[in-house]
Structure 1
Amino acid sequence: MAIESVDVVVTSPGRNFVTAVVTTSDGVVGLGDATLNGRELAVASYLRDHVAPTLLGRDESQIEWIWQYLYRSPYWRRGPVTMSAIAAIDMALWDIAAKKAGVPLYQLLGGASRSGLLSYAHASGTTVETLHEAIHGYLEQGFRAVRIQAGVPGLDQIYGVHDAAPGGTYEYEPAGRAAVGEAMRPTEETWDTAAYLRHLPSVFAAVREEFGGVLRLLHDGHHRMSPIEAARLARDLEPYDPFWLEDCTPGEDQSVLRLVRQHSTTPLAIGEVFNSVYDYQTLITERLIDYVRSSATHAGGITGLRQIMTFAGIYGIRSGFHGPTDVSPVGMAANLHLGLAIHNFGIQEYMPHSALTKTVFRTGYRFADGLLHPGDAPGLGVELDREEAAKHEYRPAYLPVNRLRDGSVHDW
């Protein structure tokens, strides 16, 4: 059989998503996630204008060949736009292959290596008290691990921090959205690293006092620290046994994590902004991280992410795949199928999508007792309702910009 069409669906059921829909000549449809938060239309154009025309008539079963063709043939390689487009095609082809075989995708990846995927929730609060309320809510839902983010005294809104609704959960969308047909620019938030470094250890201490030592606690630094600041925080958090400290420094200069390693045994996670195995070369070979944070959506799909995890496994490094709500349910399913199959799984980020999103993307994966499972439907187990998708028009949306008190632009 052969690829008959490649359609690109852009929809915004509460937030923007880009989906590649690959249809074969015998009528089998595969889905792939190409969502790149804040740059969605760039990937949609790359897929529609530059990738789709080169694939028509090709054998859809040649997944590895097509991946290499899309990666190696263009002069301009890698980067988030290119790799998200490749990811979408790759997921769709794996989806088709598993549907034709009549099995859930993880069976084609070697079968299940575990019964479910340990997952962590996003617990946050503008105060320690509201953070505790959020954690209690997630524990009641069955979570055994939570990422904790808290407000910093003297600062206003901070990316990743929001008070939960009653019951401990919330649907948090940090990207500002324009009205239909209107232009917009990102909102700006103020940051103070010194205040954050003084405050965060006390947050961990309070959470440990409230919840004891068994609950796994994670924290995201959002690239905000210099190397020596990151080393200090990693050391200061050691007494509270963090599961990991994520993105403590910007990802571009990987060598700086050597300094963090010299000063602390706190496990480190990084990579949600990385796009290929080459981005991890120094980090993995020198064992400067403990967890890989990429997602199938942004790292070349199932084929690309499996490359990274095979390389990481040689060095005892585990997965911590990126799973926010700006990875669509299709991309989330791809993460879960790969996570269930690989030996060196670590933990899975899980931000449930909104009810509105699920009217467009009908999912088969499930959560119980702290564990996610991709489900047993053939393929990825996600279906796209294109009629419903068409009701939700794209709206520009951008994550906030981070500034220091003097107005200079800062990492986040």
Structure 2
Amino acid sequence: MDRRTGYSNRRTVATNPVGCPTPTPRSNRMPDHSPLITGVDVVVTNPMQAPLGNFVLVRVTTDQDGLHGWGDATCSGSELAVVTMIEEHIAPALIGQPAGRIEHLWHTIYHLPYYRSGSVHLSAVSGIDMALWDIKGKQAGLPVCELLGGRVRDRMLTYRSVSGSTFDEVLERVHHLQQLDYQVIKVQVAVPELESGYAVPASDAQQAATEEAFARGVPPAETWEPEPYTQLIPRLFEFLRAELGNSVQLIHDVHERVTPSQGLRLACDLAPFNLFYLEDLLRPEHLDTFRLVRSQSPVPLAMGEVFCNPWEGQELWFEHLVDYARHDLAHVGGITAARKIAAVCEARGILTAWHG
């Protein structure tokens, strides 16, 4: 024994008893039975006949006959940029790689460009990631949810959106959805002082300008004034609650079209009307101002639709400044990123209401 270390100086020689087979040396490398990626195809569709209506679908093919996966890489307004990102930059790095190494491939294509992240890059990553999960599910003969731990519930609460030119028109459409057993409805209404607005009918002049813009392949320009809007929406909810009571849950989406002070006032004005949540109240550039809203209004808040990577908006979850995470799997990195976002939100008591 070495008196300095306390360890024996003698070598131990392993002997194999007579008649016992000699152990086979084990390899440190785990066998990988994943199919290999042989191709990445991108399909751009145009179901809405407008620049903002293009859907970008990604198909990843493998060396196993007929085994392929589909993913969604839609990025409204930047579809062709996403196509270029996938075809010219990401696809070459994937050919020949094992399709089953999803986490590894996610980090590979995320760190591929030096100036990474952003809507175009992460939409491309999202489409690839979803396609790889699709492949893994098909290979296992299971729905992807079974690979993620199985279903949590047998039914899912969903919502539908309605809009109208008048309060009465909105109410009529809410009644129609109630007859279809919808329990949560998102409502919008036209602002009389404006020529157009999100999800509401436009004036004849604005509609003509919109059609002309679509014909030229560019997004239409709209005029927006937040002050008439912030005065109108509380009146809409006062009207709807007077007519409906609490028979239905109501949502409103601001689409980040107000200043922080206007957003605070709107959140306070809507507090009496028991919203399911108020969505995208403030711009992603103004996340710090959610602290002000949270401190003065009890209205449940939802945010995340416009986030472009899994880390954006972390302060909202860590400080419990919102109640619902509204990330879009086609924008933040696919299923792989969504799992991690959901885990962080669960630890903080934040619910998920995925967009898309």
Query: TM-score if structure 2 supplies the norm length?
Result: 0.84
Correspondence 1:2 to 2:40: no
- 8 A Cα contact 2:260 2:286, kept in partner: no
1:30 aligns with 2:69: yes
- Aligned equivalents of 2:323 and 2:147: distance in 1? 27
Change in CA separation of 1:264 and 1:45 when aligned onto 2, cut-off 3 Å: same
Q: CA deviation at 1:186?
A: 2.7
User: 1:153: how far off?
Assistant: 2.5
Instruction: Name the SS of the counterpart of 1:4 in structure 2.
Output: strand
The structural deviation recorded for 1:180 is 12
Residue 11 of structure 1: how far off its partner (Å): 1.9
RMSD: 1.9
Aligned 8 A contact 1:204 1:237 in 2: yes
Match of 1:309 among 334, 342, 348: 342
Instruction: Please state how far the C-alpha of 1:151 moved relative to its aligned partner.
Output: 1.2
- Secondary structure in structure 2 of the residue aligned to 1:94: helix
Higher relative contact order (CA 8 A, sep 6+): 1
Q: Residues 118-171 of structure 1: CA distance to partner in whole angstroms, max 9, x if unpaired?
A: 1111011110011011111211222110011111222221122249xxxxxxxx
Partner-residue secondary structure (3-state), 1:57: coil
Match of 2:79 in 1: 40
Amino acid at match of 1:197: T
Alignment equivalent of 1:149, drawn from 173, 178, 188? 188
Task: Report if the CA contact (8 A) 1:19-1:88 is conserved.
Answer: yes
1:70 corresponding residue in structure 2: 109
Pairing 1:157-306 to 2, within 5 Å after superposition:
157-162=196-201, 183-306=216-339
Secondary structure of the residue that 2:330 maps to in structure 1? coil
Q: Which amino acid aligns with 2:344?
A: F
Matched with 1:124 is 163
Q: Distance in 1 between matches of 2:284 and 2:266?
A: 17
In 1, Cα distance between the equivalents of 2:210 and 2:199?
17
Over 3 Å counting, the alpha-carbon distance change for 1:177 and 1:64 in structure 2 is farther
For the structure 1 residues 191 and 312, does the alpha-carbon distance in structure 2 shift closer, same or farther, using more than 3 Å as the test? same
- Sort the Cα spacing of 1:7 and 1:275 in 2 relative to 1 into closer, same or farther, 3 A: same
Amino acid in the other structure paired with 1:266 = V
Query: How much has 1:182 moved relative to structure 2?
Result: 5.6
What secondary structure, in the 3-state scheme, does the structure 2 residue paired with 1:217 have? strand
Distance 1:264 1:110, change over 3 A: same
TM-score by length of 1: 0.73
Partner of 1:348: none
Distance apart, 1:297 and its partner CA = 0.6
Query: What is the alpha-carbon distance in structure 2 between the residues aligned to residue 82 and residue 144 of structure 1?
Result: 36
Q: Residue type of the partner of 1:49?
A: E
1:18 to 56, 63, 71: 56
Name the amino acid aligned to 1:136.
H
Q: What amino acid does structure 2 have at the position aligned with 1:6?
A: V
Work out whether residues 210 and 221 of structure 2, in 8 Å CA contact, stay in contact via their aligned partners in 1: no
Q: 1:136 to 1:55 in 2, by over 3 A?
A: same
> Aligned with 1:32: secondary structure?
strand
Which moves more between the two structures, 11-20 or 310-319? 11-20
Is the helix fraction higher in 1 or 2?
2
Residues 11-61 of structure 1, C-alpha deviations (whole Å, 9 max, x = no match): 223331111111110020100111111110000110111111110010000
Unaligned runs of 5+ in 2: 1-34
Structure 1: which amino acid aligns with 2:241? R
Matched letter for residue 122 of structure 2 = M
1:359-393 Cα distance to aligned partner (Å, 9 max, x none): xxxxxxxxxxxxxxxxxxxxxxxxxxxxxxxxxxx
Change in Cα spacing, 1:209 to 1:271, as seen in structure 2 (3 Å) is same
1:291: how far off?
0.8
Bigger-Rg structure (1/2): 2
Kindly state the Cα deviation for residue 104 of structure 1 after the two structures are TM-superposed: 1.0
Q: Tell me which amino acid in the other structure corresponds to 1:117.
A: M
Deviation at 1:190, TM superposition (A): 2.2
Aligned to 2:137: 98
Equivalent AA in structure 1 for residue 132 of structure 2 = L
Residues of 1 paired with 2:247 and 2:148: CA distance?
32
Tell me the residue number matched to 1:108.
147
Counting only pairs closer than 5 Å after superposition, residues 47-86 of structure 1 correspond to structure 2 as: 47-86=86-125
Cα distance in 1, alignment partners of residues 302 and 260 from structure 2: 15
Per-residue deviation at 1:181?
Answer: 11
Secondary structure of residue in 2 paired with 1:223: coil
Q: Is the 8 A contact 1:228 1:259 kept in 2?
A: no
Correspondence 1:353-392 to 2 at 5 A: none
Looking at structure 2, the residues matched to 46 and 5 of structure 1 have their Cα atoms a distance apart, in angstroms, of: 15
Cα distance in 2 between the residues matched to 1:246 and 1:259: 16
- Which structure's residues are more often strand, by fraction? 1
**Cα deviation 1:238-289 (Å, max 9, x = unaligned):** 1110011111111112101011111101011111110222112111111111
Matches of 1:178 and 1:51, distance apart in 2:
35
Secondary structure of the 1:115 match is: coil
